[in-house]
Chain A
C-alpha cells in the first residue's frame, strides 16, 4: 500500500480512532531490542521470528505486499492519518509469537516488539497510541510484561494473538495474566490470524486446499473459541473490570455465537456456574468487536441489519491497515452516515474506542 495513490475523501468531521493498525517489523530492526542469545539468533539464523506457514497471501503475485508505508512513524502518519483520515491509530506490532513453540524465544520477542513500538512510533507523535503485545505461553512472564508496560502512557491496552494459545484463553492457566491486566487497567484486544492456523487447527490446515478457506475460517474460529472460553469458564466474572475487544474477524460471527451460547447456557447452566447473566449480556456490557473486515452482503440493507443486531454500542472502527484485506475508513463511515443516526456514527468511529481503551482525548 505504499504506492502513491489517489487519496479517497477523508472521513469528514468525525474524530476517527482506528483500533487495529499493524506494523510489519523487519527482522533487522528488531535485533537491537533483543538480548543475547536471541540477538544472534535473529541476526544470523534464517528462520526469522517464527516458521512460515507456507500459504501464499499474494494470490500468485497479484497483490502488492509492500509494507514500506509502515516502516517509520512518518510513513504511517502520511499514509494512514493524512491520506486515509485516521486521527488516532491504535497501533499493534502484529506480534504472532503466542503461537510459537519456543517459550523463552517468544517472551524475548514480546519485549522486543513492545520496546520497538514505543521507541519508533508511540514516542514520535502525540496522536499515536499503542497496544502492548503479550505472549501467552507463560502467564507469569506475561503478567510481568503487563506490569512493565503499564507505566507507558501511550500504551492503552494489551494485544493478544489468539490463534494458537493452548489451552484456550478462558482457562484458569491464564488467571495471573488477566489479574495483571485488571490491576493495571489495561483492557484486552484479541487478534486472530491465518498464521497461527497450523497450530490452532492443524488438521484443517493440512486438509484445506486454498488459502481463501484458511483465511476465511481462521479469524472467526479463533474469536469464537476465545469468546466462548472467556464466558463459559467465567473469566468475565473473575475479572469484572476488564473489557475485551475482538479484532479482525468482522461482525457476523458475534450474533451467531452469542445466540447459540444463550440457548446452550439455559440448557446446561451448571457447566458455567460462575456466570450470573446470560452470555449475551456479558457481550453487551464488556465486549467490543472491530468492524474490519466489514462483511459484504449482496444487499446493503442486510449490512445495516447486521450492524443493528451487533449494536453500535459494541462496534469499534478499524482499518487493519496496511494489510491486504484492510478497510478504507470511508466505506463504513459512508454506510453509517446513510443508514444510521449521527450518534451511532460517533459511537462507532470514536466513542466506543475511548471507552474500551480508556482514552483521554
Chain B
C-alpha cells in the first residue's frame, strides 16, 4: 500500500472536493463536515464521473397506514452525491448507492497528518 499527499487540510473546505489522478485512477477527496472521504470517480452504473456531480439532499417518504397518508420530506441535505451522467444517488459518507443495495463506490482510507491529507492506495 502506498500513501499519497493529496493536499493541505485547508485546501479542501467543508463541502468542497478535489478530483485527482493517482496511479491512473481518478479519485475524489471530499470534505464532509470536516471529515475526509475518498472515492473512485467511477459510477457503478455506466462508469460515469460520479464524484463530479452535485451534492444535494434527497426526497424521502413515510406512509402512515392507519391514516392512509404519505408524508414527503426533503432530507439529508449535503449528504447525497448525484452522478452527473444519470443521477444515481450515493451516500457521500459511506459511498453506498441509495437505490440499489449492495452497490458502493470504491473508497480509500484518508487521514490527516501534520495538516496534510494523506490517502492510502
Contact = CB atoms under 8 A, between A and B. Distances in A.
Nearest to A3: B52
B67 interface: no
B87 A59 contact: yes
Interface in A245-292: none
Given A62-B82, A324-B86, A325-B86, A330 B47 contact: yes
A328 B56 contact: no
Q: 9 tightest CB-CB pairs across the interface, nearest first?
A: A5-B49, A328-B46, A62-B82, A6-B26, A8-B47, A64-B84, A331-B46, A6-B49, A63-B87
A326 B85 CA distance: 8
Given A63-B87, A327-B46, 11 more contacts: A3-B49, A5-B49, A6-B26, A8-B47, A59-B87, A60-B59, A63-B84, A64-B53, A64-B84, A325-B86, A326-B86
Interface string A325-338: 11110110000000
A287 B49 CA distance: 35
A293 to B, nearest CB: 9
Q: Which applies to chain B's interface (DSSP): helix, strand, loop or mixed?
A: loop
Interface of B: 26, 41-42, 46-49, 52-54, 56, 59, 82, 84-87, 89
A331 B42 CA distance: 13
A1 interface: yes
A84 B26 CA distance: 17
The CB with the most chain B CB atoms within 10 A, among A6, A64, A330, is that of: A6
28 contacts: A1-B84, A3-B49, A3-B84, A5-B52, A6-B26, A8-B47, A59-B82, A59-B87, A60-B59, A61-B54, A61-B56, A62-B53, A62-B54, A62-B82, A62-B87, A63-B82, A63-B84, A63-B87, A64-B54, A64-B84, A324-B85, A324-B86, A326-B86, A327-B46, A328-B46, A328-B47, A328-B85, A330-B46
The CB with the most chain A CB atoms within 10 A, among B42, B54, B85, is that of: B85
Q: How large is the interface on A (under 10, 10 to 19, 20 to 34, 35 or more residues)?
A: 10 to 19
Contacts of A62: 53-54, 56, 82, 87, 89
Interface in A165-199: none
A326 B87 CA distance: 11
Contacts of A64: 53-54, 84
